[in-house]
Chain A
Amino acid sequence: MSGYASGVLAQLAINIVIAYSVFLPAAAGLLNLGAAGFVLIGGYAAGALTAKLGAPLAVAIPAAGLAAGAIAFLVSFPILRTRGVYMVLATFAFAEVVGGILLNIPALGGAAGLSVSAYAGLPLVLGVTAAVVAFVAWLLATRLGLAMRAVHDDENVALLFGCHLRLVQVAAFTLGGALGGVGGALLVHQFNFIDVQTTGIVFSIFVLLYVLMGGTQTAWGPIAGALFFTLVPEGLRRVAELAPALKFLEGSRYIVFGAAVVLVMMWRPEGLVTRTLMDRFYGFFVRRNHA
């Protein structure tokens, strides 16, 4: 596999992990525009561990997840007092505060960012991503996952059937934060660099965009969203390279991508992958067996 292709694949895998960090709260009905916050926490934590303390990646990555998860847990209590658009803004504000704090820690590079030399190769990145996907799929199949999806659909009725609303929301938010930390750890060791500037508002907006685009009803949604987000602009660039007549696509690929986003949302407002779609997909195979 060429260096270019493995780079894109690694980027895709990291995007998937970060997508799941926003997906989990979203699946429980909580909208999170602060993906950057937990990615920064995890990225800086992991980076500091490998660069300053010489820790191996096998320690740094889980530690980053734990750190981000712990902070997510603490922050979840005040943030869960907000709802709807207020929650969007609160998570947004939280990410900005995290960025602001990190900018002012000279030991971590300040505004210039943090550089690390430890490198996480493609196999490690893919391995961690696969583990994350497996974890989320398992989680959604548990009682907790059922409670999360019930709370997403109808909080009040879920309560009447015994769902512990606060517990479910804290769990979703905490686990999402932890996954964000893991994503950040992978990111800093794939690009050997992380900084607040590039992992800010625009970053969080993109993540939320492709998570909602992919669909929040099933565990496959984030993958579809990340695929779309990673491959469409790259694909357009490749097409521009291969077909000189379409050269303009290279410079304007984000315009086309933006238009694609608008069109996809018009065509499938609930996201690319919906529960109904997956049912039909499985149903297709099941019917085959029964016929």
Chain B
Amino acid sequence: MLEFENVSKSFGGLKVIDQVSFTVRRGSRTALIGPNGAGKTTLFNLISGVYPLDAGAINLEGEDIAAMAPRLRIARGIARSFQNVRLMPHLSTVENVMLGEHWRASPLALAQGRRAAQAARAALDAAGLSDYPGQVVSNLPYGVQKRIEVVRALAAKPKLLLLDEPAAGLNPAEGEALGVLLERASAGGITLLVVEHNMHFVRRLCDRVVVLNFGRKLFEGTPDEVHRDPAVREAYLGVAA
């Protein structure tokens, strides 16, 4: 469903993404892993359209989206969460979730209209976050905010969900709840692409792994295969296995 073809991106003289190619199959749950600074978040920014490509192509369901404005990509079905929580600090939980489905709504409609608020509340309940609907998000704990971000992205009814370190900073119970939420999303047909450092989380959730290091793709395969690959081991452990 998502194809990266020889994508490159440089900032100044630094080549952050170097001819990366990989495929994300529809319905799959792919993890994007690699040491810090490998270019994972940059890759996400390229998919979302925050940065333009220097070279290569990004195809979503056959269509080249590299030139598409960021604002339009959500209509193509790409939604994401962020490494540092980027909820709207002065909006309430429900309002942040309603922002997720903003692209599908008409501008003059009453946002506080029952249908929209109810749907948002239901989504929050389903994620185990029913305690906080009206509260301004900047007052909420970090783990809660992170999960609200995921609910917001899901509210967009995306085809492809990009998650940037969704489990970071979550305690085991929260991580568990997140995993359940994502499994349900995947079962519902959403393709997941997840950047994560938490390998336990990755092993539980994902059926495919892409490894990035210094902007280059090191490996693409199943979680089991990843562990055995010598290049990956060297990158992570620094020793030839």
Contacts and interface: CB of A to CB of B under 8 A. Distances in A.
Q: Do A and B assemble together?
A: yes
Interface of A: 141-147, 149-150, 152-154, 156-165, 217, 275-276, 279, 282-283, 286
Contacts of A145: 111
Interface string B73-91: 1110001101000101111
Contact of A157 (B88, B90, B95, B105): B88
Contact of B99 (A146, A217, A276, A282): A146
A143 B108 contact: yes
Interface string B155-194: 0100000000000000000000000000000000000000
Contacts of B100: 161
Contact of B110 (A142, A147, A156, A159): A142
30 contacts: A141-B111, A142-B107, A143-B105, A143-B106, A143-B107, A143-B108, A143-B111, A144-B108, A146-B98, A146-B99, A147-B107, A149-B95, A150-B99, A153-B88, A153-B90, A153-B91, A157-B82, A160-B50, A160-B70, A161-B102, A161-B152, A162-B71, A162-B74, A162-B102, A162-B103, A163-B71, A163-B102, A165-B71, A275-B91, A279-B92
The size bracket of the interface on B is: 35 or more
B113 to A, nearest CB: 9
Interface of B: 48-50, 70-71, 73-75, 79-80, 82, 86, 88-92, 95, 98-100, 102-103, 105-112, 134-136, 138-139, 152, 156
A77 to B, nearest CB: 18
Nearest to B149: A157
A158 B87 CA distance: 10
Q: Chain A contact residues: over half helix, strand or loop, or mixed? A: helix
Contact of A150 (B50, B79, B91): B91
A153 B73 contact: no
Nearest to B86: A157
A286 B139 CA distance: 19
Nearest to A156: B50
Contacts of A150: 88, 91, 99, 102
A142 B108 contact: yes
Contact of B95 (A146, A162, A164, A286): A146
A159 B103 CA distance: 10
Given A143-B109, A159-B70, A159-B71, A154 B103 contact: no
Given A146-B111, A154-B86, 17 more contacts: A142-B110, A143-B102, A145-B111, A147-B107, A149-B88, A149-B90, A150-B88, A153-B90, A156-B50, A159-B71, A160-B70, A160-B73, A161-B74, A161-B79, A162-B71, A162-B75, A276-B139
